[in-house]
Amino acid sequence: MTKEPDGRDLNASLKLLWGDRARPQRGRPPTLSLGRIVAAAVEVADELSLTQGLDALSMRCIATHLGVGTMSLYRYVPGKSELLDLMLDHVIEVPETDPDDGRGWREILTEEAHHHWKLCMDHPWYPYVDQSRPLLGPNSMRGLDRLFSLLRPTGLDDRTLMMMIGVQSDYVDGLARSHLNELRAERRTGVSSEEFWEAQGPTLVDAMNSGRFPTMAALSESTFDFTHEQLFEFGLSRLHDGFAAFIEGGAHPD
């Protein structure tokens, strides 16, 4: 048995991800299945993620959602850590795209980034799961296989492509967490971002008029007038500009 420090049983997760989903022999509630448990866990996590956060997700609240006893869940999955592995793979949807559509790497990665962003917005717990040592399930593998099938015709070597995919994925996850943290603060406090900054207005005006922050006082009124979606598009374009400069320079990653 191979276990991570957080108690995740890697062997159990891999068996469940790749099809070892045999039904318990005894004591199984007739309407319960691993598929129903995973789907219910996703529903509960979606509901909790913008209020209490992923830490509030428990086997007990999933069981309550299903209307069964908590211990019945453990007949199908060892615990929350392994269930999260199944949830991550469950929510991944792989688009159907012709590998020979003639697009360049930038168009392909842009589509992938938008797809990833939507996944994070649809399932606000997704970017908070620790994926430093991810387990690739069937959907994850299918998505990566598709992405490489689209990118390899560009002529870039596989290692470079994998690093580009990884850097972009980290960028999307990071900005998604920032945006979701703001949404969570609004849900938790009942105070919108606009109301939050309006409340600070008089104090900030006094600070700007004090002469202590001359550069800040001279900033244009539109300096902070952008949405997270606009920030996402701006950052993604600049990230791809960097990739382009690297590729056009004929350099190779160390």
Q: What is the pLDDT of residues 70-95, one digit of tens each?
A: 999 999 999 999 999 999 999 999 88
* CATH architecture, range 105-190+224-248: Orthogonal Bundle (1.10)
Q: Where do the domains of the chain lie?
A: 10-90, 105-190+224-248
Taking all residues of the chain, what is their mean pLDDT, rounded to a whole number?
Answer: 89
pTM for this structure? 0.87
Q: Which CATH number fits domain 10-90: 1.20.1260.10, 1.10.8.10, 1.10.10.60, 3.10.180.10?
A: 1.10.10.60
HEC-encoded secondary structure of the chain:
CCECCCCCEHHHHHHHHCCCCCCCCCCCCCCCCHHHHHHHHHHHHHHHCCCCCHHHCCHHHHHHHHCCCHHHHCCCCCCHHHHHHHHHHHCCCCCCCCCCCCCCHHHHHHHHHHHHHHHHHHCCCHHHCCCCCCCCCHHHHHHHHHHHHHHHHHCCCHHHHHHHHHHHHHHHHHHHHHHHHHHHHHHHHCCCHHHHHHHHHHHHHHHHHCCCCHHHHCCCCCCCCCCHHHHHHHHHHHHHHHHHHHHHCCCCCC
Q: What is the pLDDT of residues 4-58, one digit of tens each?
A: 556 677 888 888 888 865 555 555 545 799 999 999 999 999 999 988 889 999 9
